[in-house]
Structure 1
């Protein structure tokens, strides 16, 4: 029985580790944000915890690129929620609220 539990845990762990959570981020924004990770932080590309801890720097650097790649509406209504989900999966939730989209677009201000 112990061997079965150990096998199950190993299988689940490898399945989780094999799934790249970057796919959570809206596709049109991925290249912009990955480039911003390189430019605005000292994080390694697959160090998602570091990226989420530096979300503000990445946002400041990548915002114009994301808006150009995805459009304003999609940036606010799809990209920002996908980034919040991404960081929750990375166990580094972004707890700053998103501005009311009706108020202004301006900064993402998460």
Structure 2
């Protein structure tokens, strides 16, 4: 009786392993090989996995001072909605990064290295298609519009106050 139980157990294990789902089968084709004979061979597209897409090389951040790099990553992480690896997004938030990372970079690197870092970052951002000068001009234009709107609101507030007094 013991042998019968073991035989059934062995049969169940064999069936379970035969029914288990394995990785997708390779695609094989029948065709001519190097020796001009026909044989089965693995197809070049044998995997069902998608092929990796070639990406453009990442910007070279290795030349940026390590202290400045630390300041930049902290500024990106805590003051933007960008991922640290998303250079284009970080470049588009250049004004925020300048405000938040500049004091840290000056403290850790000094003025001379900070100027070098700024020049390197401008080049990196330009390669990513983001022009800091254009962003600065747009920001200055928005600031000017905000100041004009604030002055206009202040004038309106004064008129309302004068009417209320009279």
TM over 0.5: yes
Query: Please, what TM-score do these two structures have when normalized by structure 2?
Result: 0.44
Q: 3-state SS of the aligned residue for 1:43?
A: coil
The corresponding residue for 1:50 is 89
Query: Please, what TM-score do these two structures have when normalized by structure 1?
Result: 0.64
The corresponding residue for 2:79 is 40
State which structure, 1 or 2, has the greater radius of gyration over its C-alpha atoms.
Answer: 2
Do structure 1's residue 83 and structure 2's residue 109 form an aligned pair? no
Aligned 8 A contact 2:59 2:124 in 1:
no
Aligned equivalents of 1:87 and 1:80: distance in 2? 10
Aligned 8 A contact 1:26 1:82 in 2:
no
Which one scores higher on RCO, CA 8 angstroms, separation ≥ 6?
1
Report the CA distance between 1:39 and its aligned residue: 1.2
User: Which stretches in structure 2 are left out of the alignment for 5+ residues?
Assistant: 1-53, 135-166
The corresponding residue for 1:70 is 109
Report the CA distance between 1:44 and its aligned residue: 0.8
User: Which stretches in structure 1 are left out of the alignment for 5+ residues?
Assistant: 1-12, 97-110
Match among 123, 131, 145 for residue 93 of structure 1: 131
Structure number having the greater helix percentage: 1
CA deviation string 1:16-67 (max 9, x = no partner): 43x4433253433101001000111001111111100001101111111100
Aligned equivalents of 1:84 and 1:27: distance in 2? 17
Aligned equivalents of 2:93 and 2:81: distance in 1? 9
